[in-house]
Amino acid sequence: MILKIVTAGEPVLRQKARQLTQEEIRSTLIQDLITHMRDTMRDAPGVGLAAPQIGQSLQLTVIEDKEEYQQKMTEAERKQFERTAVPFHAIINPTIELLGPADIIAAEGCLSLPGFMAKVPRARAVRVQCLDEHGEPRTIEASGWYARILQHEIDHLNGRLYIDLMQSESFSTIENYQRHGKK
C-alpha cells in the first residue's frame, strides 16, 4: 500500500515523535506500517522515509539506498560523496552521536519538500543506537552518504527539516539546481 506523504506546513513534521514500546514494534500494526513505509519510499522514490512524513508521530524511519539510484553518478561523484548501496532496514527510537563536526556540505532534497533542494552541512560520520524492526538493539556506525541519510531521517523524528540547517542562499528548485547549482 502506498501512503500519502505529508508536506511542509503539516504540524506533525515539527513535533518530536513518540517512542515505540517493544510490544508495539512487534505488533502487526507496526510491522504492516514498516512494509507500507518501505513501499511508499520505493515508489517516491527516496532513500529514507520517517513516520512523521506519513502523518504518524512515531520514532520510526525506514532507509534503503539502492545501487540503481546511483547509476547517474560518475565514479568520482560516488567517491566524493562516499555513496554505496545500503540495504533496506528500519530504525526505531534512535539516538545519534555525530563523530565529528557538521562540515561536509552536499545538496539534499526531501519527500516532504517536493521539487526543492539545498546544500546542507552534515557530519561525515555518526553512531546510531536504535532498535531494529524486530525490536532488537542495534548500533550503526556510518560514514559518507549513509551518515547523511541517518542524520536527515533522525532529524524528522525530532521535528526538524533540512531547511532548518541549509545554506539558505543555495535553496533552489531541483531543475534550477541541476542547471546552475552543481557548479
| Catalytic site positions | 153
CA distances for 29 relative to 20, 34, 62, 158, angstroms: 12, 9, 15, 22
C-alpha cell at 181: 547549482
State whether residue 156 is helix, strand or coil. helix
Distance CA 87, CA 9 (A): 31
Distance CA 123, CA 121 (A): 7
C-alpha cell at 30: 507496526
